[in-house]
Amino acid sequence: QVQLQESGPGLVKPSQTLSLICTVSGGSVSSGHYYWTWIRQPAGRGLEWIGRIYTRGGTDYSPSLKSRVTISLDTSKNQFSLNLSSVTAADTAVYYCARGRYFGGWLALDQWGQGTLVNVSS
């Protein structure tokens, strides 16, 4: 059973860069059957899709965050990462990493990390 675990600072200052890592165990980030995704959820609110990376390195980002987001893959460490630059208080949220799986031609997020809370505050 694959497991995902987010890690990174719980507190980031405004205007700085938020950096998180998702470590995958029990499976390989190099598998062509999957893609790797970041989602966030402000307290008491809904889910926001941030972006994804394919095993061959291609990426898709939410247009609302595209100018500030970078998602990368490190196959040697079986990890993928999220960098979000120029953060403000509006970026305070629980950040989830998740595995996207192809069920035939349909895509869904079938495995999730437990989430990590990131506060943006001076």
Partner 1 sequence: DIQTTQSPSSLSASVGDRVTITCRASQTISNYLNWYQQKVGKAPNLLIYAASTLQSGVPSRFSGSGSGTDFTLTISSLQPEDFATYYCQQSYSTPYTFGQGTKVEI
**What residues make contact with partner 1 under the rule CB under 8 A?**
46-49, 51-52, 60-64, 96, 98, 103-104, 106-110, 112-115
Residue placing its CB nearer to partner 1 in the complex, 14 or 32: 32
CB 82 within 8 A of CB 4: no
DSSP summary character for residue 86: S
CB of 73 to partner 1, least distance (A): 17
Nearer to partner 1, 92 or 113 (CB): 113
Compute the least distance from the CB of residue 48 to partner 1, in Å.
Answer: 7
Compute the chain's Rg from CA coordinates.
Answer: 14
Minimum gap (Å) between residue 85 Cβ and partner 1: 18
Looking at beta carbons only, is 106 or 122 nearer to partner 1? 106
* Residue 46 C-beta: closest distance to partner 1, Å: 5
What HEC string does 3-53 produce? Answer: EEEEECCCEECCCCCEEEEEEEECCCCCCCCEEEEEEEECCCCCCEEEEEE
Q: Give 106's contacts (C-beta < 8 A, 6+ positions apart).
A: none
